[in-house]
Structure 1
């Protein structure tokens, strides 16, 4: 994404607070006495990634507003900042909860939580099961990604294509869950398509870990390579790096004189469809905002408990975006930012944007959307279980499995 476009977004969604000395203070109206404070430490991807960190901010800012709290934010510029940032906040002894955004902060949270046992912490994607002052908020990304895989696989099969792609960020355990779920969904799509049409299909999943969450050029290069190999739908699981995936798919569409896919991209974390309408068919929403909000609510209401909280399809913790989700995300921007964004995208009104998003989805037959929903219901009911490997051995077994039923046996 071009820096100018990103800047417009930041002016809007992220302008509720001001950057200063590595700390972003967002307390809202100073005239009003606050009922306390919360703090959030971002991962190196940072605010403005249009996905993971931004979703955490949305949850924290909503909680701060609803519970009349001061919100203090710290950005981590490198992994060396994790402990320093957490300890800077903890030693102030004023925060109802300190939220650490991202798996990479797990060790830092463990260390600082031991040093400050009276301070409550919540970590997104970190596994800290045994500390009474640490709430670990995890997500069943495998479940949401299975829906993304089913959508990608059925679109490809229906169009006579045999490849889909996935571009990922750093090779860390949580991303194995995304990859495994996506692969599971693609295999489920093969089976569903055969039952529906009687035709055998075999869809390859092209994948690449870019090693980064904030390098759009790497994401674009990875997607370009997959598109050249015939990928028909590409799922981005790479934060800011994944914004380059959208650029790569749009360039292919432009070269063909098309305004809408296929080929398509699938967004991640937030309802990203509006970023490049016509290019992004849907997004696998990871409701980090819900997890953060719930952690603050528990700290405020005195129900905070250490241990694991895991949010899946059943809990609205993950899921494919709807057009309503996308418009809700867009409507959260200040009016002036919405106007600028609409102008950039070439729309005269929000209604035009919504209609365009709906028309994009109509490029995919209704039966495919219905099939994806069928898979969703079966996962929610427990009839189907999706594997969630957290190590290299586990993901390798998923990669080698020939059917979704084989993969399901790997689900613990």
Structure 2
């Protein structure tokens, strides 16, 4: 991936995130910044929210940045400080969590990512009076730990249906998903996506009386912060005729966007196909016209809710799980895009003329997709919410292997 382009994208997102925070209620004290090692303090206060990032860290344009947004909003709303700690390696998890727990000013310690599960189990036992929240980790038996989980399988089913119905419209029968490390939380993305694709086959049969069978490819890149690996994986799929690729790989997924946009432009197009689908945040603006939509995973909402409990004295351990019904996951809309672009303009990160071009391009791209595609996605959404459709939720390697066979997923090579 062009490093200058990636750097430019990251710079824009950082400014946009800063503008989001400025749009929320002002902090009770002026923001300050210090740099004691890997730790950054963004607001002075008696108590703080500590956000411990894994090795992926900030700037991924999705998962970690959304956690930052939720913590920042909570800090401002509840008069707390915000302290960020970046883990350089997995060996940093326990020391970073311990340092926050013994700091004396931690209202809540947020561990961002499944990979910190064991570290949270250990440190929360060592410091029973400290309050912890872990995003995507499952620590259900500690009164001082809240596990923030999402029904990514539900949101992924929606974009699976969107991918398949869009592919069908463009006379394509191959779709794919590029993922980061193979960990249990990503099984929910993979299997949910495949379920949505198979649902779309039934929808096409019902609506048009046609039998259609999609090939579904998947690749685990083994990384959340390597755009080059994401690009390589997407190129493999594109060479096999895949026309819509969902990425669930953090910053690695930026390479998926790059590969898809380059393929489209080589074909003389200003918008897809091929298409990519973003994840976690609204990523539609990154390669406008080539990103069909994004599966928004509202990590910010989960972190905010946990911080609110800590600030209001209602914190209790257990599981906080958010799905379609709770607004925890969903498909990005034009309203989401417009909000992001407007914030960027106010921050000076996006020129007014460029912002409108982005909005126009995404709107034009979406308008070329028939209304029955979007209607179909909404049908599935309502059926999931009502319980008529139950998206599989694998929790073990044996279960995911069985579902891969049942749903007919194939590893791209």
Q: How many correspondences in the alignment?
A: 393
Matches of 1:146 and 1:296, distance apart in 2: 29
The 5 A counterparts of 1:328-347 are 328-333=339-344, 335-339=346-350, 342=351
Matches of 2:342 and 2:128, distance apart in 1: 40
Conservation of the 8 A alpha-carbon contact between 1:37 and 1:70? yes
Asked whether 1:47 is paired with 2:58, we answer yes
Asked whether 1:401 is paired with 2:406, we answer yes
After TM superposition, the score normalised by the length of structure 1 is 0.92
Structure 1 residue aligned with 2:395? 390
Matches of 1:399 and 1:247, distance apart in 2: 28
TM-aligned CA deviation for residue 303 of structure 1: 1.2
TM-aligned CA deviation for residue 11 of structure 1: 4.3
Structure 2 residue aligned with 1:408? none
Distance change in 2, residues 1:227/1:355 (3 Å): same
1:241 aligned to 249, 252, 277, which one? Answer: 252
TM-aligned CA deviation for residue 14 of structure 1: 5.3
Asked whether 1:370 is paired with 2:375, we answer yes
Instruction: List per-residue Cα deviations over 1:142-185 (Å, max 9, x = no partner).
Output: 00000010000111122221100100000000000100000000
Structure 2 residue aligned with 1:26? 42
Structure 2 residue aligned with 1:3? 7
Matches of 1:223 and 1:337, distance apart in 2: 32
Matches of 2:314 and 2:214, distance apart in 1: 47
Conservation of the 8 A alpha-carbon contact between 2:16 and 2:340? no
Conservation of the 8 A alpha-carbon contact between 2:117 and 2:138? yes
Distance change in 2, residues 1:204/1:328 (3 Å): same
Matches of 2:6 and 2:105, distance apart in 1: 39
- Structure 2: 5+ residue stretches without partners: 22-31
Aligned-partner SS, 2:285 = helix
Matches of 1:213 and 1:337, distance apart in 2: 29
Conservation of the 8 A alpha-carbon contact between 1:83 and 1:108? yes
Structure 1 residue aligned with 2:28? none
Matches of 1:282 and 1:19, distance apart in 2: 37
Matches of 2:408 and 2:364, distance apart in 1: 33
1:256 aligned to 263, 267, 270, which one? Answer: 267
Structure 2 residue aligned with 1:268? 279
Matches of 1:356 and 1:51, distance apart in 2: 22
TM-aligned CA deviation for residue 4 of structure 1: 3.0
Aligned-partner SS, 1:338 = coil
Aligned-partner SS, 1:315 = coil
Conservation of the 8 A alpha-carbon contact between 2:34 and 2:42? no
Matches of 1:76 and 1:164, distance apart in 2: 35
The 5 A counterparts of 1:152-167 are 152-167=163-178
Matches of 2:288 and 2:398, distance apart in 1: 38
The runs of 4+ residues in structure 1 deviating greater than 4 Å are 14-19
Stretch deviating more after TM superposition (206-215 or 192-201): 192-201
Instruction: List per-residue Cα deviations over 1:344-395 (Å, max 9, x = no partner).
Output: xxx7053443222211111211000000000000000111100010222111
Aligned-partner SS, 2:120 = helix
The 5 A counterparts of 1:89-108 are 89-108=100-119
- Structure 1: 5+ residue stretches without partners: 405-412
After TM superposition, the score normalised by the length of structure 2 is 0.91
Structure 2 residue aligned with 1:135? 146
TM-aligned CA deviation for residue 337 of structure 1: 4.0
